Amino acid sequence: MENRNKQLTAVLFVVALALAPIIQAAPQPDGGPSSLAANDRISANSEATPEVENRPVITIYSTGNVTRGKTGSFVLKMSPVMLGGMYVNFSLSGTAIAGVDYVQPLSPANIGPSGYGVILIQTLADPRGSVIRQAYSVVVKLDPGLGSGLGYALGIPSSATMWIKP
């Protein structure tokens, strides 16, 4: 039942991300709605050339912190959507240790034809014991795509953090 709750949370998050551009949801200092085109969110790591403008822009979001023994997730969003989807490379960092605090997910991650993908982080029981009750971070950073218009551009945010709570 708990796994179904995590899946439901991830699905609802993906639906919310899908609906945000339709209702033009974006935080604004004056409180008014606005919408940015996908190519307006290209990070400084990408070149501003016609090749980049033809590539899909990939962003990543954390679904929130996770308790040990549970599964957390990161949601990938591709805009505009490429027919057939795409694979996106990523790297992991943070204070949590792969194999000790969580099961290392494999890169690349798949973004499906819907324009969304999920990176699941399965946390492990704390081998340090109950003496050290500390939260550990998992940071997923998207790696740049291929050049020559065949890959993808990194959007903002291009990294996200999740905390593994005791």
Q: What is the pLDDT of residue 53?
A: 63
Per the domain annotation, does 37 fall within a domain? no
Per the domain annotation, does 11 fall within a domain? yes
Per-residue pLDDT tens digits for 100-109: 999 999 999 9
Q: Is 117 exposed, middle or buried (0-12, 13-18, 19+ CB in 10 A)?
A: buried
- Cα Rg of the chain (Å, integer): 17
Q: What is the pLDDT of residue 151?
A: 86
Domain with 100 in it: 2-23+42-165
Q: What is the pLDDT of residue 109?
A: 96
Average pLDDT estimate for 91-100: 96
Residue 15 — very low, low, confident or very high, per pLDDT cuts 50/70/90? Answer: low
Single-letter amino acid, residue 63: T
Q: What's the domain count of the chain? A: 1
**CATH code of the domain containing 133:** 2.60.40.2030
| Tokens read off for 28 | 């604004």
Per the domain annotation, does 35 fall within a domain? no
Do 82 and 55 meet the contact criterion of CB atoms below 8 Å apart? no
Q: What is the pLDDT of residue 127?
A: 84
